[in-house]
Amino acid sequence: MMEASWATSVDMQVASAPAPQKVERRRSARRADINGNTDAGGSDDEGWLQQGDRVDLAQQSLLNKLIRHSLVLNRNRVEVQQRDPNSPLYSVKSFEELRLKADLLNGVYQMGFNRPSGIQENALPLMLAHPPQNLIAQSQSGTGKTAAFCLAMLSNANPAHAWPQCLCIAPTYELALQIGQVVEQMGKFCSNVKLVYAVRGNRMEKGTKVEEQIVIGTPGTVYDWCTKRKAIDPKRISMFVLDEADVMIAMQGHRDQSIRIQRLLPKECQMLFFSATFEDSVWSFAEKIIPNPNIIRLKREEETLDNIRQFYMVCKDKEEKFAALCNLYGCLTIAQTIVFCKTRRMASWLAESMTKEGHQVGVLSGEMTVEQRAAVIERYRQGKEKVLVTTNVCSRGIDVEQVTLVVNFDLPVDLAGQADNDTYLHRIGRAGRFGKRGFAVNLVDSQRSMDIIEQIELHFNRKIKKLDMNDLEELD
Ligand SMILES: Nc1ncnc2c1ncn2[C@@H]1O[C@H](COP(=O)(O)OP(=O)(O)OP(=O)(O)O)[C@@H](O)[C@H]1O
């Protein structure tokens, strides 16, 4: 189905009134998400052997939240596209300028926020404007979007009214809880503003009315509470927040359900829409459900290969690759290393072999829970482990300043077996962060992998130098 026809298709489904769950399951059967992963993609074992770990966007997003302790600073300029280009553009440099209720301002300061982040400077005045304005905001993970809309919901909620006024939907139960925690923390002095989670497992008896002003939930349950249970009167919602839109639309049932929810809301309801990525699919989805939006975008900090010296080493097989890795380690003064393998099996073999050699190694792979992964990353970040062996699950999103060496134990390839240049850039972008120098070493064990090195060289127009064991000390 063409993406442009989503909204129409939802209308048609609603008109012919099929059971929403059924439609959702049937239609989501074989659709790729924005990483090209398909739900119907074979057995676990196939994934294990062929592709390493499948990147689950919702889990990745949760992982990012769990491991982040502070704002991600971005030097790129914020782009603002106003719905009405003639109206003045407000931006604030302090939270006081927003004229927040004292209790809310107090909560913001208690969280240690001294001033608005880059995206918040422009987004907050728009989100708090009268009359209400619709907004699509896009900026990379960790730049302050969640904090911004939590603040807007707390500011919008009127404690004198015992019914839902702000409705926020997120892709998963865990992500909804993360948002709720921010609302609770920021709103801790707003004693009469209450929050409820509309998530599976939170039972709502028929006939019960939700009295909390803020509802945070997942699309299916929210829709159910609005329609079947009639626990929420959608016509009284004045602020609708759709978070993690990119993750949401990768989960097709959620995308349709979100459109259905939006259709229940009054015309004048303020719509706020957040996403961490720029994909076209996200924009066409956003424009379908947000009329007359203001658009704020913060470009992602470009990852570059400028500070990274790239090498390759020729090896016969995995044992020789392992020996090369240990030699590298023995010869170089390395702060920390990330080693990428293609499959979980390879990652665990390598980690075991390195551990036997006396290295302190952490392993990350897809069968671990998000909490376990967050704990491994935290230990690595604290320097308790110097080596992190991983499949693709952690090639994005980890900011550890002290990574100096990235090793591609297996080179990144796409499904067609060609060089996956984006993944290469993301992987080796781990080294040489924040202007520091880093190394990337690619282990080559066949003519095919040599061809991939050449493709990568060509793509980035950078030489990848051959490295011999004898050169190592000189390199150090
Ligand atoms: N103005 C601010 N000053 C200081 N810290 C802030 C500010 N705004 C947000 N933060 C902190 O920065 C971190 C990232 O913020 P937030 O979760 O709002 O980002 P995000 O863009 O929503 O990320 P994601 O896309 O992963 O949800 C959090 O630890 C948050 O407490």
Ligand 1 touching residue 144 (CB < 6 A): yes
As a whole-number percent, the residues of the chain with pLDDT over 70 amount to 81
- 345/88: higher pLDDT: 345
Instruction: Give the model confidence (pLDDT) of 58-72 as tens digits.
Output: 887 888 788 777 787
- Token pair recorded at residue 29: 């059967």
- Token pair recorded at residue 452: 């991939």
Task: Go through 242-265 and write b for each residue having 16 or more CB atoms within 10 A of its CB, e for each that does not.
Answer: bbbbbbbbbbbbbbbbbbbbbebb
Instruction: Give the three-state DSSP class for 230.
Output: coil
Find the 363 Cα to ligand 1 centroid distance in Å. Answer: 27
- 45/354: higher pLDDT: 354
Ligand 1 touching residue 164 (CB < 6 A): no
- Protein residue closest via CA to atom 24 of ligand 1: 141
* Window from 119-128, 304-313, 392-401 with minimum mean pLDDT: 392-401
* Window from 112-126, 411-425, 458-472 with minimum mean pLDDT: 458-472
CB burial of residue 236 (10 Å; 0-12, 13-18, 19+): middle
pLDDT at 356: 92
Find the 79 Cα to ligand 1 centroid distance in Å. Answer: 19
Query: What number does CATH give the domain 308-469?
Result: 3.40.50.300
pLDDT at 97: 95
Q: Can you give the residue ranges of every domain in the chain?
A: 57-298, 308-469
* Window from 104-118, 283-297, 326-340 with minimum mean pLDDT: 326-340
Find the 146 Cα to ligand 1 centroid distance in Å. Answer: 6
Please state, in angstroms and rounded to a whole number, the distance separating the CA atoms of residues 135 and 150.
Answer: 14
Please state, in angstroms and rounded to a whole number, the distance separating the CA atoms of residues 441 and 422.
Answer: 17
What is the position in ligand 1's atom list of the atom closest to the CA of 115? 1
Task: Decide whether 57-298 matches 308-469 in CATH topology.
Answer: yes
Measured at the CA of 61, the angle between CA 303 and CA 203, to 5 degrees, comes to 170
Helices (H), 166-251: 173-186, 219-226, 245-250
Find the 144 Cα to ligand 1 centroid distance in Å. Answer: 3
- Token pair recorded at residue 290: 């947000």
Ligand 1 touching residue 70 (CB < 6 A): yes
> Which pTM was predicted?
0.79
**Residue 239 bridge partners (DSSP):** 166, 270
pLDDT at 18: 37
From 66, 108, 120, 143, the mutation candidate for ligand 1 (largest count of ligand atoms within 8 A of CB) is: 143
Instruction: Give the model confidence (pLDDT) of 331-366 as tens digits.
Output: 666 678 889 998 889 999 999 999 998 888 999 887
Ligand 1 touching residue 107 (CB < 6 A): no
Ligand 1 touching residue 117 (CB < 6 A): yes
From 117, 169, 175, 273, the mutation candidate for ligand 1 (largest count of ligand atoms within 8 A of CB) is: 117
Question: What mean pLDDT, rounded, does the chain reach?
Answer: 82
pLDDT at 454: 96
Instruction: Tell me whether strands 336-340 and 403-408 are parallel, antiparallel or unpaired.
Output: parallel
CATH topology of domain 57-298: Rossmann fold (3.40.50)
Ligand 1 touching residue 157 (CB < 6 A): no
Helices (H), 17-117: 20-27, 44-50, 57-67, 102-110
